[in-house]
Structure 1
């Protein structure tokens, strides 16, 4: 599995924690797209490259982080084909994957502790899309993207 990860300054420390957790404890290949410090940056500059890596299939999933997760969610979902889900706890991540086939997990660096974030990441990465009745909804989302 290969994951792209990106954050703004507000979630830099959590990004580093999650990146190291995935690489060291889980043995997952992680591509770090920045930010590279807690010095102020603009989250859209990191959301777009992450989204493009996901939609081009260079990576299996993306993990995007900012202070609240809201800005990164808005920005990453502007990339056609991204289904980014802001998940503040594992149950949200489970249903984001099961029902929405989310391909980008968005986390809130200022609102979550690292243990909760790790559990949320694990749930997201270990949950499969249910398909079935949910598949037609994902297809409808794709049609909306093509029309706009």
Structure 2
């Protein structure tokens, strides 16, 4: 799978570990930065990640910052993105199955490496359920659409 990953400075170390692990797992990974742990603004990297997933360059995105909150908000500004902030694998799987999430957000200060890997595995291995969820997901990209 083609996966884009981005972070801010607070999640730089976790991003590097996850990038290497994803490559070892056989995925094609685009590391969108930053390339060092100097202070950066998470919205810049969230917007970049969203653009790469929205244009199809990457099939899925992984967004990381200290809490995961700020970067997930930035990613979700793009109407083509459905970024779910999670802290355990069940939420990651449900975000895919029910919400067709195409981006996962994690907080580096709140989530250890093993839990992060478990969340990402669930996110990547779970398919969208479609059916009754499809209409709801469509509304997420078109908020003015009537029922």
Unaligned runs of 5+ in 1: none
Task: Give yes or no for the alignment of 1:62 onto 2:65.
Answer: no
- Look up the match of 1:50: 49
Task: Give yes or no for the alignment of 1:135 onto 2:130.
Answer: no
- Look up the match of 1:75: 74
Indicate the larger mover: 123-132 or 32-41: 32-41
- Look up the match of 1:22: 22
**Take 2:136 and 2:142, find their aligned partners in 1: how far apart are those partners?**
10
CA distance 1:67–1:51, shift in 2 (3 Å) = same
- Look up the match of 2:6: 6
Give 4+ residue runs of structure 1 displaced > 3 Å after superposition: none
For the 8 Å contact 2:53–2:61, the answer to whether it is kept is yes
**Take 1:105 and 1:140, find their aligned partners in 2: how far apart are those partners?**
19
Q: CA deviation at 1:142?
A: 2.0
**Take 2:36 and 2:108, find their aligned partners in 1: how far apart are those partners?**
14
- Look up the match of 2:36: 37
**Alignment deviations for residues 75-118 of structure 1 (CA, whole Å, 9 cap, x no partner):** 00001210000011101101000000000000110001100000
- Look up the match of 2:96: 97
Unaligned runs of 5+ in 2: none
**Take 2:22 and 2:109, find their aligned partners in 1: how far apart are those partners?**
20
**Take 2:52 and 2:127, find their aligned partners in 1: how far apart are those partners?**
20
Q: CA deviation at 1:36?
A: 1.4
Question: What RMSD in Å do the two structures reach over aligned CA positions?
Answer: 1.4
For the 8 Å contact 1:80–1:145, the answer to whether it is kept is no
**Alignment deviations for residues 31-54 of structure 1 (CA, whole Å, 9 cap, x no partner):** 000011221100011011110111
TM-score (norm 1): 0.95
